[in-house]
Chain A
Amino acid sequence: MKTLVVYLMAGPETPALAEAAAASGADIVELGFPFSDPLADGPVVRRAGERALAQGMRTARCLECLAATRAAVGVPLIPMTYSSLLDAYGWERFAEDARAAGATSLIVADLPADERPELRRVQLVAPTSTDDRLRTAAGTTDGWLYLVTVAGTTGARAELSPALEPLVERARAVTDLPLYAGFGISTPAHARAAAELADGVVVGSRAVEVAEEGPPALAAYVASLRDAVDA
């Protein structure tokens, strides 16, 4: 059984959207806490973040959104954000309050594994990561390792990155933890191809786009991904 992770930007509709995603087969929901200058994100997530900030989705509101989503679904919820929010809120306090609001872990897109190692989080590794860095990330990660499939920002790509396969091989050599692949996975065909290599897939930008059409559209999209990774 492969794991399907779906990313949603925090907003007023998030609990309903997460419910639709979970009912259609999402195993984990990542919840984006928007940042004004999201370096790791391509245009789709960047624009979604701008809209969320314009709607007032600041840290306190995002934590409320997390708690409301927690009340709506049973799957693990993982906030994904940037260092500046944690630095302003207090690193430890952020982790504690997120946990209290129902978070299972945390992803910080601009915090490499060797920076603030004491903060428990899901670590990201990339095709450019050296074997040493893979070991450091695997040794400190919280439950699973996030494999960034491409050297690039988040966003849809025409093809699944050829860099994923060698990255999976190198990661398998240093850890037995589950490996979930994300960045650039947008279609059921991508999801299926990635799931054949890794233990799970993360779908972000395309999910954010479909979520704008409402819960039924998101449910249908997530179901198509579920079918693909289970096939």
Chain B
Amino acid sequence: MTRTFGAYGGRYGPETLIPALDELEAGWRAAREDESFARELHELYTSYGGRPTPLTLAPRFAPDKRVYLKREDLLHTGAHKLNNAVGQALLARRLGKQRIVAETGAGQHGVATATVCARFGFECVVYMGSEDMRRQRPNVERMGLLGAEVRPVEFGTKTLKEATSEAIRDWIGSVETTHYLIGSCVGPAPYPELVRELQAVIGRESREQMLTVAGRLPEAVVACVGGGSNAIGMFAGFLGDEEVRLVGVEAAGAASLGTGRPGVLHGARSSLLADDDGQILDAHSISAGLDYPGVGPEHAALRDTGRARYVTATDDEALAAFHRLAETEGIIPALESSHALARALDVDAELVLVCLSGRGDKDLAEVVARRELRLIGR
């Protein structure tokens, strides 16, 4: 197992949790050596999740180049989050846990978690900032229908950062019966590696599909980065292909890699939005899934080595890409994925692979409200 990535990662958490992290690490190691685990995971990915997800060429969206979309939006529950939730649920069952806690920002990870909990018969508690509950209402309702309890988090920024803190606090008090199903490649070891390995199916499939449909590897691979799980899963398929450029796109107001500094948050050392004293700063993004001041430690290491490059997209650029994809290809993307789409248009490459990490149904109210505001403003 990899506990650190360059100067990042590690385990910065209360002692109470460390034995559970050891247990999880050992359970994961055993599972990886167990063929029946791989078989069951594959079976769930295909017969329940709908994998493999297709690649779609987007010629009207990007007429000057070949942009292929990896359609994680077509995965069951509408985003890549299910890849991780299914795998961790299998692990939790192996570890004998009966209860799952999770955090969610956009609600996609919460929905994926509630979904696997329904499927596996786990009790499910999801922490969500009250501001995110407001702007991602449909996902709150979906979690309720799936039998999960959504607990609002009312302090601080009332978004993903505080929701994550509360999920971890719950876990500190319930660790013997509960698995913490973290939603991104963040947190103390072994989570960043565990989540990467479960999301790596995106990159593995994409690589094969590119070779089939284009006869070659893409020049650039573009993915949005909040915590960074869809990006790390996509990048994992191409890390060994030096000629493939890896581009992560952060929200301009939440650029933990672009404008951040080293710090410690939620159990790991990474690049964070923090001040000179190590106090965590507020992030701002129209996209609840990217509205987070931290990022997975492996991304910080990939930035430092130069293997991946991280750029930003503003709220307006993401919104423009959202509308453009809807109007040119008949696909409504998640606002998170729209950040990747925005930069895919101007990346200096002809053959581009974009991770369309989720679908945008959850964002309709927010997007329509913005559009009306704009019309009134005219």
Say yes or no for A110: interface residue by CB 8 A criterion: yes
> Could you tell me if A37 and B161 are in contact, using CB atoms closer than 8 angstroms?
yes
**Stretch with Cβ within 8 A of B (4 or more), from A12-20, A71-79, A84-92, A211-219:** A84-92
State how many angstroms separate the Cβ of A33 from the closest Cβ of chain B.
9
Given A35-B278, A36-B280, A85-B277, verify A151-B175 contact (CB < 8 Å).
yes
State how many angstroms separate the Cβ of B239 from the closest Cβ of chain A.
27
Digitize A29-51: 1 where CB-to-B-CB distance is under 8 Å, 0 elsewhere.
00000011101101000100010
> Could you tell me if A84 and B279 are in contact, using CB atoms closer than 8 angstroms?
yes
Say yes or no for B14: interface residue by CB 8 A criterion: yes
> Could you tell me if A129 and B15 are in contact, using CB atoms closer than 8 angstroms?
yes
Digitize B1-36: 1 where CB-to-A-CB distance is under 8 Å, 0 elsewhere.
000000000111111111110100000000000000
> Could you tell me if B172 and A40 are in contact, using CB atoms closer than 8 angstroms?
yes
State how many angstroms separate the Cβ of B268 from the closest Cβ of chain A.
10
Say yes or no for A152: interface residue by CB 8 A criterion: yes
> Could you tell me if B172 and A153 are in contact, using CB atoms closer than 8 angstroms?
yes
> Could you tell me if A87 and B279 are in contact, using CB atoms closer than 8 angstroms?
no
Say yes or no for A111: interface residue by CB 8 A criterion: yes
> Could you tell me if B266 and A37 are in contact, using CB atoms closer than 8 angstroms?
yes
Contacts of B161 in A (CB 8 A): 37
> Could you tell me if B18 and A110 are in contact, using CB atoms closer than 8 angstroms?
no
In the complex, which of the residues A58, A84, A87, A113 contacts B15, with contact meaning CB atoms closer than 8 Å? A113
Digitize B266-306: 1 where CB-to-A-CB distance is under 8 Å, 0 elsewhere.
11010000111111100000000000000000000000000
Say yes or no for B263: interface residue by CB 8 A criterion: yes
- State A158–B213 Cα separation when bound (angstroms): 64
Say yes or no for A210: interface residue by CB 8 A criterion: no
> Could you tell me if B172 and A133 are in contact, using CB atoms closer than 8 angstroms?
no
> Could you tell me if A82 and B264 are in contact, using CB atoms closer than 8 angstroms?
yes
> Could you tell me if A111 and B277 are in contact, using CB atoms closer than 8 angstroms?
no
**Interface size, chain A (Cβ < 8 Å):** 42
Say yes or no for A124: interface residue by CB 8 A criterion: yes
Given A39-B14, A151-B176, verify A87-B169 contact (CB < 8 Å).
no
> Could you tell me if A137 and B15 are in contact, using CB atoms closer than 8 angstroms?
yes
> Chain A interface mostly helix, strand, loop or mixed?
loop
Interface residues on B, range: 35 or more
Say yes or no for B262: interface residue by CB 8 A criterion: yes
Contacts of B172 in A (CB 8 A): 39-40, 151-153
> Could you tell me if A126 and B15 are in contact, using CB atoms closer than 8 angstroms?
yes
Say yes or no for B165: interface residue by CB 8 A criterion: yes
State how many angstroms separate the Cβ of A220 from the closest Cβ of chain B.
30
> Could you tell me if B262 and A53 are in contact, using CB atoms closer than 8 angstroms?
no
Contacts of B277 in A (CB 8 A): 58-60, 85, 88-89
Say yes or no for B353: interface residue by CB 8 A criterion: no
> Could you tell me if A39 and B263 are in contact, using CB atoms closer than 8 angstroms?
no
> Could you tell me if A84 and B278 are in contact, using CB atoms closer than 8 angstroms?
yes
Given A128-B175, A151-B173, verify A115-B10 contact (CB < 8 Å).
yes
- State A42–B17 Cα separation when bound (angstroms): 16
> Could you tell me if B263 and A88 are in contact, using CB atoms closer than 8 angstroms?
yes
- State A130–B19 Cα separation when bound (angstroms): 7
In the complex, which of the residues B10, B156, B168, B278 contacts A88, with contact meaning CB atoms closer than 8 Å? B278
Digitize B162-179: 1 where CB-to-A-CB distance is under 8 Å, 0 elsewhere.
000100110011111000
Digitize B240-282: 1 where CB-to-A-CB distance is under 8 Å, 0 elsewhere.
0000000000000000000001111111010000111111100
- State A40–B16 Cα separation when bound (angstroms): 9
Contacts of B267 in A (CB 8 A): 39, 110
> Could you tell me if A111 and B278 are in contact, using CB atoms closer than 8 angstroms?
no
Say yes or no for A224: interface residue by CB 8 A criterion: no
Say yes or no for A189: interface residue by CB 8 A criterion: no
Contacts of B278 in A (CB 8 A): 35, 59, 84-89
Which residue among B14, B15, B168, B267 has the maximum number of chain A CB atoms within 10 Å of its CB? B15
Which A residues, 93 to 140, have Cβ-Cβ distances below 8 Å to chain B? 109-115, 123-130, 133, 137
- State A197–B295 Cα separation when bound (angstroms): 43
Contacts of A59 in B (CB 8 A): 277-278
- State A127–B19 Cα separation when bound (angstroms): 10
Say yes or no for A175: interface residue by CB 8 A criterion: no
- State A110–B169 Cα separation when bound (angstroms): 12
Q: List 19 A-B contacts (CB under 8 A).
A: A36-B156, A37-B161, A37-B280, A39-B13, A39-B168, A39-B172, A50-B155, A59-B277, A60-B277, A86-B278, A87-B262, A88-B278, A110-B12, A110-B14, A128-B18, A128-B20, A148-B14, A150-B173, A153-B173
Q: What 6 A-B pairs come out closest when comparing CB atoms?
A: A88-B278, A84-B278, A152-B173, A126-B16, A83-B264, A84-B264
| B contact residues vs A (CB 8 Å cutoff) | 10-20, 22, 155-156, 161, 165, 168-169, 172-176, 261-267, 269, 274-280
| A contact residues vs B (CB 8 Å cutoff) | 35-37, 39-40, 42, 46, 50, 53, 58-60, 82-89, 109-115, 123-130, 133, 137, 148, 150-153
